[in-house]
A and B are shown apart, each in its own frame.
Chain A
Amino acid sequence: MNKTVNQKAWFFVIPVFVLVAFNAIIPLMTVVNYAFQETFGNNQFMWEGTRWFKQILISERFHAALGRQVLFTLIILAIQIPLGIFIALNMPKEGLGVPICLVLMSMPLLIPWNVVGAMWNIFALPDIGFLGHSLNALGFDYNFTQQSGDAWFTTILMDVWHWTSLVVLLSYAGLRSIQPAYYQAAEIDGATRWAVFRHIELPKMKKVLTIAILLRFMDSFMIYTEPFVLTGGGPGNATAFLSIDLVKMALGQFDLGPAAAMSLIYFFIVLTVCWVFYNLMMRNESNS
């Protein structure tokens, strides 16, 4: 069959193009503009080439922030993915428990991010917060505004509280789609609980888990609001993750050139990891 060539169809694409231009391309190009030039305001720019990029890439401050970011993301993935699967496996499969659990699980996901930060800030205050006060009463020397270990502990706990539900809901959906015959066959084959998990549940959850990991990676790697409200990046720079450090540089110090370069590097890292991850996922898919 021959398709008629009709270039008029491009007209249909124009509205989308304009929309995308205004909300993505133009802002991004502004950042690119700053990343290669120096400005003193008044719309005066001087060409700097790759100077800002070189500066960022060798700066210890950037290395430290990136290190903190990677560590944070790895820790929350290592906690949230297994914990989410574990909770999903133990959720009721029928009866009144199902809607109750689902609603309870969805609650943290419905709370705005700055509210989560504020909530946990008050909750963890060492003098009046329930968590902070209780820990101190139990004999722990806990103060997240002063001690970096405590700040990390609180930030991670907050993120686990906020986002584990997402992994739970995705895993639960994956588990529910498994036909009862699989469990029956495994029972007859004499499979242990572990073997059922390893050979039936985990393979059937693979797709949703990949999505869960991808989403949790992206969100946690770009986390800003919650630690900003909770710790403000402190104490010192202890919890200054990439985004917090970036805002400090751009709006605190007004180093627009280096900040723009850092934004692009940051953006590039997220994009690359997601791309690699997505391709690995798709390759596994076509192998099986």
Chain B
Amino acid sequence: MSKITLKDLSHSYLQFPTKNEDWAIKNVNIDWHDGGAYALLGPSGCGKTTLLNIISGLINPTKGQILFDNENITQKNPVERNIAQIFQFPVIYDTMTVFDNLAFPLRNRKIPEEEIENKVKEISNMLELTPTLYNRASGLTADGKQKISLGRGLARSDVNVIMFDEPLTVIDPHLKWVLRSKLKELHQKIKRTMIYVTHDQTEALTFADQVVVMHEGQIVQTGTPVELFEKPKHTFVGHFIGSPGMNILPCKIDNGLIFINSTNIEISNSKLNNTSYSKVELGIRPEFISFDKKGLPVKVTNVSHTGKNNIIETESDGGKIKLITKASVKIPEGSAFLNFKKDRTYVYKDDWIVE
């Protein structure tokens, strides 16, 4: 029930970090607005779980502050922070019934038994756990157990944020979809801030209003799924999101004009008055490339049919380029020319977008 701010947050698991690689979290600044559905997306080892554990208070950050509604709570423990967290593997209390499992966080907070009874019934209805409510929790299947973990997170109605750490890893694919829609539905019903950690872009893009992409301990971009797709701020976002990912091609800048080898590429976004960049690349998504009579000369090397679309691999002097065309578009054989959509082509300097 509050805004969460991470301020200049850095964390290292080492006692005396020296190198840049020693840091698991590197100077993260972000606001999580109250009631938002966020996804924290990134490959394994990018620091997502560390960031989550810092918010929940399981890890004390090396540097920086965590603020709940502008109040500094960096030194507070998870109970004082009043948050809920659901882990990758289901955590259940084996010896208790499903009911007692769901009631456990409430009982620990000395809530009257009557209120607990109502709350647990409500949660178990929502998660369809009612038929097994009085069974021993240890007898349930993996997804049943994970539902209990979810239920314990949802049982308290006043939590500041509910965090999910890849909660669907152990769930069967078809149930994954069901549980994910359930979560989305729950978010709409209870309007609580939710942060969903995942390395799966489909999960992130379907669950969240705002996706936060992490890469090597940094947040590289925060935005809606559409923003991440249409305008990646970092080359990592470009190739991590989308299938196939963004084409990243080395390019040269001469007098404010962009060249891939000797072909001038027109773009409408960047102001390129400074030419002294160390590493300059041009990024374009396969969806925004088409065949044309003139443009960048390429050779078509491979075509894969995916039904509605074709994914075409081509070879230019500047490197491989993939493009997606409708199945109805005729694919030229051998040599061809590519046209890049002007307003969807970006220039990246040292992996960051130039605007």
> Are these two chains actual partners, yes or no?
yes
Instruction: Identify the closest chain A residue to B108 (Cβ).
Output: A190
| Inter-chain contacts of B83 with A (CB < 8 A) | 188
Contact indicator per residue, chain A 169-209, by CB within 8 Å of chain B (1) or not (0): 00000000001011011011111100100011001100000
Distance between A79 CB and nearest chain B CB, rounded to angstroms: 25
Contact indicator per residue, chain B 73-99, by CB within 8 Å of chain A (1) or not (0): 000011100011101110101111000
How many chain A residues touch the partner (CB < 8 A)?
A: 18
Instruction: Identify the closest chain A residue to B89 (Cβ).
Output: A181
A192 vs B108: C-alpha distance when bound (angstroms): 8
Q: Interface centre among B83, B84, B87, B109, by most A CB within 10 Å?
A: B87
A90 adjacent to chain B (CB < 8 Å):
no
A288 adjacent to chain B (CB < 8 Å):
yes
A189 vs B151: C-alpha distance when bound (angstroms): 12
User: Of B56, B77, B96, which one neighbours A199 at CB under 8 angstroms?
Assistant: B96
B105 adjacent to chain A (CB < 8 Å):
yes
- The answer on a CB contact under 8 Å between B105 and A189 is yes
- The answer on a CB contact under 8 Å between B89 and A179 is yes
Q: Interface centre among A181, A185, A188, by most B CB within 10 Å?
A: A188
- The answer on a CB contact under 8 Å between B89 and A199 is no
A179 vs B87: C-alpha distance when bound (angstroms): 11
A188 vs B105: C-alpha distance when bound (angstroms): 8
- The answer on a CB contact under 8 Å between A188 and B93 is no
- The answer on a CB contact under 8 Å between A188 and B108 is no
Contact indicator per residue, chain B 132-157, by CB within 8 Å of chain A (1) or not (0): 00001011000000000100100000
- The answer on a CB contact under 8 Å between B93 and A200 is yes
- The answer on a CB contact under 8 Å between A187 and B58 is yes
| Inter-chain contacts of A185 with B (CB < 8 A) | 85, 87, 91, 149, 152
B104 adjacent to chain A (CB < 8 Å):
yes
The prevalent SS among residues of A at the interface is: helix
| Inter-chain contacts of A204 with B (CB < 8 A) | 94
- The answer on a CB contact under 8 Å between B91 and A288 is no
How many chain B residues touch the partner (CB < 8 A)?
A: 26
- The answer on a CB contact under 8 Å between A203 and B95 is yes
Contact indicator per residue, chain A 201-236, by CB within 8 Å of chain B (1) or not (0): 001100000000000000000000000000000000
The answer to whether residues A203 and B85 also contact, given A188-B56, A288-B138 and a CB cut-off of 8 A, is no
| Inter-chain contacts of A187 with B (CB < 8 A) | 58, 77-79
Instruction: Identify the closest chain B residue to A191 (Cβ).
Output: B108
| Inter-chain contacts of B94 with A (CB < 8 A) | 199, 203-204, 288
A287 vs B138: C-alpha distance when bound (angstroms): 10
Q: Interface centre among A179, A190, A192, A204, by most B CB within 10 Å?
A: A190
**Chain B, range 208-227, C-beta contacts under 8 Å to A:** none
Contact indicator per residue, chain A 131-157, by CB within 8 Å of chain B (1) or not (0): 000000000000000000000000000
User: Of B58, B95, B139, B152, which one neighbours A189 at CB under 8 angstroms?
Assistant: B152
Distance between B137 CB and nearest chain A CB, rounded to angstroms: 10
A189 vs B105: C-alpha distance when bound (angstroms): 4
- The answer on a CB contact under 8 Å between A181 and B91 is yes
- The answer on a CB contact under 8 Å between A188 and B85 is yes
A182 vs B105: C-alpha distance when bound (angstroms): 13
Instruction: Identify the closest chain A residue to B59 (Cβ).
Output: A184
Instruction: Identify the closest chain B residue to A179 (Cβ).
Output: B89
- The answer on a CB contact under 8 Å between B104 and A191 is yes
- The answer on a CB contact under 8 Å between A184 and B58 is yes
- The answer on a CB contact under 8 Å between B105 and A190 is yes
Q: Interface centre among B53, B83, B104, by most A CB within 10 Å?
A: B104
User: Of B108, B136, B152, which one neighbours A195 at CB under 8 angstroms?
Assistant: B108
Distance between B287 CB and nearest chain A CB, rounded to angstroms: 40
User: Of B84, B88, B89, which one neighbours A188 at CB under 8 angstroms?
Assistant: B84
**Chain A, range 22-72, C-beta contacts under 8 Å to B:** none
Instruction: Identify the closest chain B residue to A200 (Cβ).
Output: B93
- The answer on a CB contact under 8 Å between B104 and A181 is no
- The answer on a CB contact under 8 Å between B136 and A188 is no
- The answer on a CB contact under 8 Å between A288 and B139 is yes
| Inter-chain contacts of B79 with A (CB < 8 A) | 187-188, 190
| Inter-chain contacts of A199 with B (CB < 8 A) | 93-96, 104
Distance between B6 CB and nearest chain A CB, rounded to angstroms: 19
Q: Which residues of B are at the interface with A, using a C-beta cutoff of 8 A?
A: 53, 56, 58, 77-79, 83-85, 87-89, 91, 93-96, 104-105, 108-109, 136, 138-139, 149, 152
Q: List 17 A-B contacts (CB under 8 A).
A: A181-B87, A181-B88, A181-B89, A181-B91, A184-B53, A187-B79, A188-B78, A188-B84, A189-B108, A189-B152, A190-B78, A191-B104, A191-B108, A199-B104, A287-B136, A288-B136, A288-B139
Closest 7 CB pairs of A and B: A190-B108, A185-B91, A189-B105, A181-B87, A199-B93, A190-B79, A203-B94
